Structure 1
Amino acid sequence: MDSSGASEQASWWVVCLCAAWCGVCREWQPTFSAQARAHPHLRFAWVDVEDEDEAMGDVDIETFPTLMIARGSEVLFLGPIPPSGTQFTRLLATLQAQPRPSPGVGAEANALFQRLHAQVLPQALV
């Protein structure tokens, strides 16, 4: 792989937005960590939304677990996901193959990613 391809892959972020009190999130965390190990060319972060209230801003996560997947500074997916390793793998493959964000991913998702990237993500790596 050439250096530009490596650079593009290195710019991917897979972020789980969760809460410490969420039993489903706690049960899903080992699967999320296994996906991080299976995709070492992507960066994975686990973010407790209640601990990062300032970075979350006005965004209210209502369903856990919620994933945010970004390429570069552009969010391709932001939404809840069933805690299934198979569906997670399929989602990652689909997003890596698509050139544009999923419909419905708006400016507020990109703004949230920018805040998280600046304030939280480097310390939240899995």
Structure 2
Amino acid sequence: MHSVTLNNDNRDDVAAALAGERWIVACLCAAWCGTCASYRAQFEEVAARHPDKFFLWIDIEDHADVVGDLDVDNFPTLLIQRHDVVAFFGTMLPDPHLAHRLVMSKAEQSDEELAATAVSSEERRQWQRDCNLRTLLGAALG
């Protein structure tokens, strides 16, 4: 496995990983979702191509205390974050090539470019307020 699945036993370890310097690529899904089930192997393919990044699988129903307020409209939803800057939050087609290209394009941006993009629209400013996984998990660990 190249990704980590959030569970009740590894929350502290995941919080420690999120506090590090690596990019975070999280897939928000649900166990009942057939698309998510078939996408899981593809998410692993993408994670294998990016061993320098922290890939995290989160079941939004099992971990509603962490992501309950996030507006997940459809599955799979990806959240990409560096430090405290949310670079992307949205539904993706379940295509590993698209996810790979998205991760690559975000990783190629400098910290300055990421910061500028993070405040470039109201939607992106909302991502910063509402979608920061470090903040969400920290609040859940309380």
| The 10-residue stretch of structure 1 (52-61 or 73-82) with the greater mean CA deviation from structure 2 | 52-61
Q: 1:12 aligns with which of 16, 19, 23?
A: 23
Unaligned runs of 5+ in 2: 1-19
Q: 2:43 aligns with which of 27, 32, 48?
A: 32
Which residue does the alignment assign to 1:73? 84
Unaligned runs of 5+ in 1: 1-8, 121-126
TM-score by length of 2: 0.69
Matched, 1:118 2:138: yes
Which residue does the alignment assign to 1:105? 124
Deviations along 1:33-59, one digit per CA (max 9) or x if unpaired, are 111121110000000001111112422
CA shift for structure 1 position 62: 1.6
* Aligned structure 1 segments of 4 or more residues deviating by more than 4 angstroms: none
CA shift for structure 1 position 115: 3.6
Superposition CA RMSD, Å: 2.2
> Percent identity between the aligned chains?
33
- Kindly provide the amino acid, as one letter, of the partner of residue 92 in structure 2: I
- Kindly provide the amino acid, as one letter, of the partner of residue 134 in structure 2: Q
Secondary structure of 1:78 counterpart: strand
Which residue does the alignment assign to 1:4? none
